């Protein structure tokens, strides 16, 4: 009983961002080593819940994350993640929705954002990736995806997928970016880029039908797709089969944290797989959400998917109006919930789509995009320099389509509207929006950060210990009232 009381006190002392000094004190007193020893030795579920709860709280402190990785990672995976995930048939079975697994996955979620060392350690941790993917698959099959456990697992997978190129080449981002555009000539006799190939009689189809029915390219490299069962460890992170899990979550999940974490920087094969698995209409639909960070992640995913020529055609044809609607209009009520990160992601997507296609530049004009772009580029006091630069680059890209200049002029626009004084430095070929090493032309990637939130699983009324949130979250009012009572009972 003394172990339960001691762990309960440590959990309370380490709860929340305001107690980071307490977390450092626990670490400096050998607390991580002692907690790991107890986790490995104890057979009591309640003790394991409390130990992982303390570690979850501590893992929200940035300067403790590396110590937790070095001292506790192996023990957490061996004693909680692997046996409770259900992946190993020798272990106790599928108990991945238990409190102890939720706490342990919360620890890994927080530390997975601690940089290259953290990503490397977690990727190389034996069976971790397999267990996380197994839990996600099990949750999808059981239609139990709106919980903290799934959220934690998907966020870990997102962070381990971040900068995955560094596995092969740690300096990959220092190399010039080579675009993957594969220009396919269109002619009346040759291959048609439309959804159904060449046809004498055109058929009207909805945007969703077109996005779903677009067949996979013959250039899709089947030789590089291997069965996920043949790939071990972190190699499974970038297998096309994993796309099906993410798309299932995107289609059914309502948890913004999980939705945000389902976006990644796709490789050539995965970009094609998303199209094959009918993922594009799901992404376009999610652009209409009112949750800013989800929209930002969707726009980023679309921008990366648009590197594929066929995806670009579909996104330009069926997503342009939705993209434009996410740009600030000058209406305060409409614009107040849109972050600069989201605006930047949307602008990058639009630029990728229009830069070599006058048809989509015309679509941008027809959707009211020029007014919104100019509104952004002229509001230097409101938007960051990056947003202003991206908006100016999109306008510049539009002006490069010589065949549309008369159309612009008929609508009252002049050359000065498209090429701002501050953008003259970017009008030279090496820095133009069509140059491969321009910022807008490089794929975008992001990772999840440590979260402090109130949306947590409620405590069970029968116990002072069970189901206590251990995420390091800022407590809601009812949780604050309970803490003093818990401290009094446990001490």
Which residues fall within 8 angstroms of residue 51, CB to CB, at 6 or more apart? 7, 35, 38, 39, 42
Which pLDDT score is estimated for 489?
33
Question: Cα dihedral angle (320, 321, 325, 329), rounded to 10 degrees?
Answer: 100
| Cα–Cα distance, 80 to 76 (Å, whole number) | 5
Write out the chain's pLDDT in tens, 491 residues.
788 999 999 999 999 888 999 999 999 999 999 999 999 999 899 999 999 999 999 999 999 999 999 999 999 999 999 999 887 777 666 677 889 999 999 999 999 988 889 999 999 999 999 999 999 988 888 888 888 999 999 999 888 888 777 777 676 666 554 544 443 333 333 333 222 223 334 444 444 444 443 332 323 233 333 444 456 677 777 777 777 777 777 776 666 676 666 654 546 667 777 777 777 888 888 888 888 888 998 898 888 888 888 889 989 999 999 999 999 987 776 667 789 999 999 999 999 999 889 999 999 999 999 999 999 998 888 889 899 999 999 999 999 999 999 999 998 999 988 987 655 544 444 445 455 444 455 545 554 545 433 222 232 333 333 333 333 332 233 333 232 232 333 33
Instruction: Supply the pLDDT for residue 91.
Output: 67
Cα distances (Å, whole numbers) of residue 143 to 136, 236, 469: 10, 23, 23
| Structural contact between residues 87 and 130, judged by C-beta atoms closer than 8 angstroms | yes
Q: How far apart are CA 129 and CA 132, in angstroms?
A: 5
**pLDDT in the model for residue 261:** 64
Sign of CA dihedral 466, 467, 471, 473: negative
Residue recorded with tokens 């004084």: 421
Q: Please name the helix (run of DSSP H) or strand (run of DSSP E) that holds residue 340, with its range, or none.
A: helix 340-354
**Of 368, 441, 439, 426, nearest in space to 180 by CA:** 441
Tokens representing residue 255 in the block: 């948890």
Q: Which residues contact 463 (CB under 8 A, 6 or more apart)?
A: none
H helix or E strand, kind and range, residue 46 = helix 45-58
Q: Can you state the angle between helices 309-318 and 268-276, rounded to 10 degrees?
A: 50
Distance separating alpha carbons of residues 315 and 346, to the nearest angstrom: 12
**What pTM, to 2 d.p., does this model score?**
0.62
In angstroms, the Cα distances linking 360 to 318, 369, 399, 406 are: 10, 11, 13, 16
């Amino acid at each position: 009983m003394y172990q339960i009381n001691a762990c309960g006190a440590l959990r309370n002392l380490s709860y929340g961002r305001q107690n980071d000094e307490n977390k450092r004190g626990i670490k400096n007193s050998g607390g991580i080593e002692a907690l790991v020893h107890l986790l490995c030795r104890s057979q009591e579920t309640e003790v394991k819940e409390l130990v992982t709860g303390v570690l979850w709280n501590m893992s929200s402190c940035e300067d403790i994350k590396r110590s937790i990785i070095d001292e506790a990672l192996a023990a957490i995976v061996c004693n909680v993640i692997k046996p409770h995930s259900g992946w190993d048939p020798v272990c106790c079975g599928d108990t991945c929705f238990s409190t102890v697994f939720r706490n342990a996955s919360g620890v890994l979620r927080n530390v997975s954002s601690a940089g290259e060392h953290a990503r490397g350690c977690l990727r190389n941790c034996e069976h971790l990736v397999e267990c996380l993917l197994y839990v996600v698959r099990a949750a999808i099959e059981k239609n139990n995806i709106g919980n903290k456990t799934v959220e934690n697992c998907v966020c870990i997978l997102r962070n381990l997928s971040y900068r995955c190129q560094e596995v092969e080449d740690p300096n990959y981002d220092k190399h010039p970016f080579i675009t993957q555009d594969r220009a396919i000539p269109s002619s009346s006799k040759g291959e048609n880029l439309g959804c159904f190939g060449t046809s004498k009689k055109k058929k009207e189809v909805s945007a969703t039908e077109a996005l779903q029915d677009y067949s996979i390219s013959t250039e899709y490299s089947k030789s590089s797709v291997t069965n996920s069962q043949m790939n071990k460890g972190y190699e499974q992170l970038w297998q096309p089969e994993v796309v099906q899990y993410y798309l299932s979550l995107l289609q059914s999940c309502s948890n913004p944290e999980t939705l945000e974490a389902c976006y990644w920087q796709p490789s050539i094969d995965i970009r094609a797989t998303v199209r094959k698995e009918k993922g594009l209409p799901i992404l376009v639909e999610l652009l209409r959400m009112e949750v800013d960070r989800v929209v930002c992640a969707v726009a980023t995913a679309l921008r990366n998917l648009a590197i594929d020529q066929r995806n670009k055609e579909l996104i330009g044809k069926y997503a342009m109006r939705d993209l434009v609607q996410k740009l600030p209009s000058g209406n305060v009520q409409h614009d107040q919930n849109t972050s600069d990160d989201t605006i930047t992601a949307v602008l990058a997507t639009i630029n990728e789509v229009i830069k070599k296609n006058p048809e989509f530049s015309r679509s941008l004009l027809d959707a009211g995009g020029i007014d919104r772009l100019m509104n952004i580029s002229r509001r230097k006091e409101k938007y960051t320099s990056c947003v202003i630069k991206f908006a100016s680059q999109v306008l510049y890209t539009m002006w490069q389509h010589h065949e549309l200049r008369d159309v612009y002029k008929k609508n009252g626009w002049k050359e000065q509207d498209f090429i701002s004084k501050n953008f003259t430095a970017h009008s030279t070929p090496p820095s133009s929006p069509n140059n491969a090493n321009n910022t807008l032309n490089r794929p975008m990637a992001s990772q999840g950060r440590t979260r402090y939130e109130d949306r947590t699983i409620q405590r069970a009324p029968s116990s002072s210990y069970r189901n206590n949130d251990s995420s390091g979250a800022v407590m809601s009012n009812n949780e604050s009232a309970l803490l003093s009572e818990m401290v009094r009972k446990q001490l």
